[in-house]
Structures are given as structure tokens and as C-alpha cells.
Amino acid sequence: MTQPRRQSGIVSLLVRQKDYVSGPEVLTELRRVIASGAVPPGSPIPLDDVAAFFGVSLIPVREALKTLLGEGLLAHQPRLGYTVTALSAAELHELYVVRGALEAAALDGAVRQATAVDHARARAVHERLAACLSAGDIVGFQRASRDFHEALLASCRMPRLLHMLDIAWNLTEPVQTMMRVTDEERLQMQVDHQEMLEAFVAGDAASLRSAAEAHHDRLTACIARIGDA
């Protein structure tokens, strides 16, 4: 289909695949773009332009923005409207603490319930991570890193926990941590991923917990440095 005329800011990053776009699809696409890290914190969300791009009324756009406000991805001020949330260093650290606690709980269940299909999915994403690292594809490595963690976590079969973790992860995703660490740190992150994968496939809950904790400690150390920058 012919894409609507592009606007500046967040609208320039939106993708519309078909003529008719539903309210949930507006929400999903806005969430994807905001969580991608491509929209600077504090950026305004122009309701009229978003509605025009999707070919919808303002109602589904407002509903989507209210949902994203509730998830913490957006802020709202009278007369200023909706803007992309800007996290302080303390808020970012807090979210990583939340992420670590939720992920630890999910991994304990995941490693015990994982099947051969789950193992294969995790291996495939890990191979993609290695390929990105080898090619110097930092953007791909950032994306595949989240995919790898989600591949490990999916088999916990706890949808409510995974939903809360997804919200926390979306809030930290705009920081694009893996793109802001050094090459040496990315290499060490991949070593962590390898250790986590081996423990996951072996069904070794204790080793997986230990490897995941070490990986999370490394991430929080990086976040502390980024927050202080």
C-alpha cells in the first residue's frame, strides 16, 4: 500500500502495513517505536499527526496514549500534552532492580519446564547474537539480546509475570544499553549469554541462577556508568 505522507519526529518512524488500522494496532506500533530508543526522551507525541498517519480518528490514538502513560512510557502535562518519558539515573537503576527480580523468578520456573523446542529456540537466538557480534552489528545485538532473554523466559508459563517483565523491559529499552557499552563489555555479555544457555539446556537451575545474577550485576554496573555520564 502507499504509505501516508511522512512527518517529522515520532511519526517519521511509524510503520503502517495496511489501509485499515485498528486501535490495538495503533497502540502496538506506538509502543514499538517508543521502546526502540529511536525517539529521544521528552519528544512530543502529536496526536493529530499520528491519527492522520494511521487514518484513524483521535479516539484510538488517545486511548493508546493513555495505555502507554499507564505503562510509564509516556508522561503527560496539562497544555503540553504527551511526551516520551525521560528517566533519571535513579529511576533507571530502580527499573533494572525490578527487571532482575522478575527475571530471576521467571528463570527458576523456565529451566524446570523447558522442552527441546524451548532449547532449540534459545540456541537459535544465541547464534544470531554471535553473528551480530561478529559482524559488528550493534543494533542487531541490542535487539537479539532481548530476544535471547525472552527465549529463556518463555517456558516459565507465567503470563502475568512475563507481562510485568515486558513492561519493565520496555521502560529501559530506550536507553539501548547494549549500544552504549564498550566492545569488550559486549564480548563479556555474550560469554554470560553462553553460560546461561548451557545451564538452561542442561536443566541446571542453580548454575542458571548464578550466571543470570552475574550478568545482571554486569548490566547494572554499566547502567550506573551511563546514568552518571
Could you give all domains of the chain from N- to C-terminal order, each with its CATH number? 9-84 (1.10.10.10), 89-228 (1.20.120.530)
Give pLDDT tens digits along the chain (229 positions): 445 444 558 999 999 988 889 999 999 999 999 988 888 888 999 999 999 999 999 999 999 999 999 999 999 988 889 999 988 888 988 999 999 999 999 999 999 999 999 999 999 999 999 999 999 999 899 999 999 999 999 999 999 999 999 999 989 888 888 888 899 999 999 999 999 999 999 999 999 999 999 999 999 988 888 755 4
For residue 140, the one-letter residue type is G
Q: Residue 67's CB: how many other CB atoms inside 10 A?
A: 16
pTM over 0.85: no
Where does the chain have alpha helices with state H?
23-35, 47-54, 58-71, 89-113, 116-135, 138-153, 159-172, 177-180, 183-202, 205-228
3-state secondary structure of 183: helix
How far is Cα 30 from Cα 52, in angstroms, rounded to an integer?
14
Are the C-beta atoms of residues 106 and 161 closer than 8 Å to each other? yes
Amino acid at the residue 143: R
| DSSP H or E segment with residue 139 | helix 138-153
